[in-house]
Amino acid sequence: MTQIAIMGFGTIGSGVYDVVNTNRDVIKRSLGHELNVKYVLDLREFPGQPVEKVLVHDVEVILSDPEVKIVVETMGGVEPAFTFVKRALEAGKSVATSNKELVAKKGAELLALAKSRSLNFLFEASVGGGIPIIRPLIQSLSADDIEEVTGILNGTTNYILTKMNREGASFEEALKEAQDNGFAERNPEADVGGYDAGRKIAILSSLVLGKTVDFEDIYTEGITKITATDFLYAKKLGWSIKLLATSKRVEGNVYAMVAPHLVKPGHPLFAVDDVFNGIMVHGNMVDDVMFYGRGAGSHATASAVVADVVEAAARDGETVYAGWTSEPQEIAELSGSVKQFFVRVKGGTERKAALKSVFGEVAFVEAEGITGEIGFVTAPMSEADFQRAAENIEDFISRIRVN
């Protein structure tokens, strides 16, 4: 029997507790012996609940117990999670976590520490919830040179955009419904501002590139400026609007960004709706590989955490992976990235000739019910060229990149 401890009994931590106890026989069949939750660390009390029997309030109880071989960290945030995880590794215990903030900020350091002690620091659940993506990237696709990772990595924003698309709702209306249904936090800034997706694409990029991508270096744009009018144009085009997190190598440069995109029907992420996540990986040999599923939720995410626990237990004394180093990865200036752009400007047909003279050949889009403005799609152009062109026109409303 392998004894484990869970630090943090919130949504994910309680899910881990449930998965270990509910699927005890399944886990035993896979691992060859049982997992047992010996301790759960939390500041709160849970009177009358089964977890009360294993509840502790002092992390030292876990760190000083030699029977505990694996610690699950589901507290969230960087501190005190980092201090607790580091001390657990120093105490000879492997760690599995779902904490994307911790992994994005301290992943390379904790991987190196785990490797130095023949332990494991595993974080499958930090990206994509229950969708397997970390392990496929570092194991199943290890023979490929990964050139691009693009994903819908935040279920809250995808739910909001889906509601806006299907019901013509405003951003504010869709956000309120997401909050009412428990899909968005009371303070949704990390989600709607794109920061959650930014941390996740930083983790995936670091794994692919073997160097540390600082999420603060990634251009990040959320969905707060997307309007119902944008969706009228999207429907006319037959496209969808998604918040995409992208990391891509082009001619030796690494471009990384989080931003809303118009996605065409042929793209693997076009039909990923509601709270679901989708991640597309492009390798030089395998071409496009798609991962799809629930990107959040107690049991979906907890399932991925427990899978890491099972692997750590099965690989006792062996480090599974430590190829992500602390060497910083330079992210290229976005100015060199080439895309099409969908643009909205105020005015009527009399402006078309002038717009063509500034942007070159464009495709105008006339959507029913929209007056007083012009929408058009540019030819592929660099971000720098687009910015220069946009500065030469008046009454600019907005732009959305096209994938």
Q: Answer yes or no: is 325 within a domain.
A: no
Q: What is the total count of domains within the chain? A: 3
- Of 168, 153, 209, 158, the closest CA to residue 332 belongs to 209
Distance in angstroms between the alpha carbons of the first and the last residue of the chain: 50
- Whether residue 8 is found in the same domain as residue 92: yes
- Whether residue 255 is found in the same domain as residue 147: yes
Report pLDDT for 183.
Answer: 83
- Whether residue 346 is found in the same domain as residue 306: no
- Whether residue 347 is found in the same domain as residue 281: no
> Is residue 370 a contact partner of residue 229, using CB atoms and an 8 Å limit?
yes
Strand 94-97 vs strand 146-152: parallel, antiparallel, or unpaired? unpaired
CATH of the domain at 100: 3.40.50.720
- Whether residue 111 is found in the same domain as residue 150: no
- Whether residue 200 is found in the same domain as residue 64: no
Cα separation, 168 vs 203, whole angstroms:
34
Task: Note down the domain range covering 369.
Answer: 337-402
Coil/strand/helix, residue 151: strand
CATH of the domain at 353: 3.30.70.1150
- Whether residue 169 is found in the same domain as residue 282: yes
Strand 219-220 vs strand 253-263: parallel, antiparallel, or unpaired? parallel
- Whether residue 179 is found in the same domain as residue 219: yes
pLDDT 10s per residue in the chain (403 long)? 999 999 999 999 999 999 999 999 999 999 999 999 999 999 999 999 999 999 999 999 999 999 999 999 999 999 999 999 999 999 999 999 999 999 999 999 999 999 999 999 999 999 998 899 999 998 888 889 999 999 999 999 999 999 999 999 999 999 999 998 888 888 999 999 999 999 999 999 999 999 999 999 999 999 999 999 999 999 999 999 999 999 999 998 999 999 999 999 999 999 999 999 999 999 999 999 999 998 777 898 999 999 999 999 999 999 987 689 999 999 999 999 999 999 999 999 899 999 999 999 999 999 988 999 999 999 999 999 999 999 989 999 999 999 9
AA identity, residue 239: W
- Whether residue 82 is found in the same domain as residue 105: yes
235 catalytic per annotation: no
Report pLDDT for 338.
Answer: 95
**Residue 287 tokens, joined:** 């071409």
Which is catalytic among the residues 38, 200, 211, 242?
A: 200
> Is residue 383 a contact partner of residue 221, using CB atoms and an 8 Å limit?
no
The string of DSSP letters for 136-194 reads IIIIITTTS-EEEEEEE--HHHHHHHHHHHHH---HHHHHHHHHHTTSS-SS-HHHHTS
Dihedral Cα 131, 132, 137, 139, nearest 10 deg: 180
Query: What sign does the dihedral 66-34-50-304 (CA atoms) show?
Result: positive
- Of 84, 38, 85, the closest CA to residue 65 belongs to 38
**Domain end position, chosen among 263, 293, 323:** 293
Q: Answer yes or no: is 60 within a domain.
A: yes
CATH of the domain at 264: 3.30.360.10
